[in-house]
Amino acid sequence: MEYQNKLVLAPMVRVGTLPFRLLAAHYGADITYGEEIIDHRLIKCERRVNEVIGSTDFVEKGTESVVFRTCLEEKNHVVFQVGTSDAVRALTAAQLVCKDIAAFDVNMGCPKSFSISGGMGAALLSKPDLIHDILTTLKRNLDIPVTCKIRLLKSPQDTVELARRIERTGVSALTVHGRKVADRPRDPAKWNEIADIVAALSIPVIANGDVFEYEDFQRIKVATGASSVMVARGALWNASIFSPNGKLPWEDVKREYLRKSISWDNDVKSTKQTLKEMIMHYSCLELPEGKAINKACNLADLAKLYGEEKYYQSVRGSCLF
């Protein structure tokens, strides 16, 4: 895994499943992060090869629920992000998936209550000793790159100090979301504080925050000096943001996402959630499209909604899900 001059899809809960990761890569993303998965859940899984669709699945024992699905097509650029508060559990989870991914990332920036209450995500930012324990344990025992993603602390000096300590663990790269824990998405990302971190470190820094057009990749890179750039909402609203040729029509992107969801037998609840997230920026869920998504019971219903019945039938004919 290289971290220089890369366009990166951010980890997004309930969105960063295999179809969306492949969608982003299709349009030009160099590195794609999966959604955060909690270590407790992953270590309850077993690895299975799904020969019907050609995927590798990590299935929760006793439930048949697919917790993480990947494939050979993305093996060299997919990053697994874990939610953890314990070095041993993090390593146990990593050892289960490490042969099927390109890198392993620890979430240290999620501000959501469910994450913080479990001592994960942004809760780790105030526990540098635990951060050191988790990252050094992973680094000593894994043959793939280990990285982490943080948010800004209360002062630029505090963030730089933490970043330097993270660098000393031997991680391959550090992603910095240019907002503090208390900041909301509407608050502007502080690119200047990311620049302070870049100047203080020798490892690659991935800058994240306020990238909504292809041109923004270069703007934030110049402003911060970061090695690479990560995008979340901009990719969610139109994954073709990664294309240097300009964004494709929104309708085309949605249909391409649905086709990939059909091909990879994506969970219908996950597919519906992602489609709703994709349209919320441009539309209203109370309009006919949003209501139709809510009413859909399966992928066939969604295929009919978006005029992809023939594609659905062609896939169903060759893959009996």
Give the catalytic positions in this structure: 110
Closest residue by Cα to residue 27 from 271, 214, 212? 214
State CA 277 to chain mean position distance: 15
SS3 14: coil
The tokens 């964004």 sit on which residue?
247
Q: Which amino acid is at 153?
A: L
**CA 239 to CA 232: how far, in whole Å?**
9
Residues 123 and 77 sit within 8 Å (Cβ to Cβ) = no
- The Cα diameter of the chain in Å comes to 59
**Number of alpha helices (DSSP H) and beta strands (DSSP E) in the chain:** 14, 12
- Rg of the Cα atoms in the chain: 19
Tokens representing residue 52 in the block: 């019907």
Could you tell me the end-to-end alpha-carbon distance of the chain, in angstroms, rounded to an integer? Answer: 33
Residues belonging to the binding site for FMN are: 11-13, 81, 149, 177, 232-233
Q: What is the DSSP letter of 102?
A: S
Alpha helices by DSSP H, listed for the chain, are 18-27, 39-42, 87-97, 113-116, 128-141, 156-168, 191-200, 214-224, 233-237, 250-263, 268-280, 288-295, 299-305, 309-318
Q: Which residues pair with 59 in a beta bridge?
A: 46, 66
Q: Which residues are annotated as a binding site?
A: 11-13, 81, 149, 177, 232-233
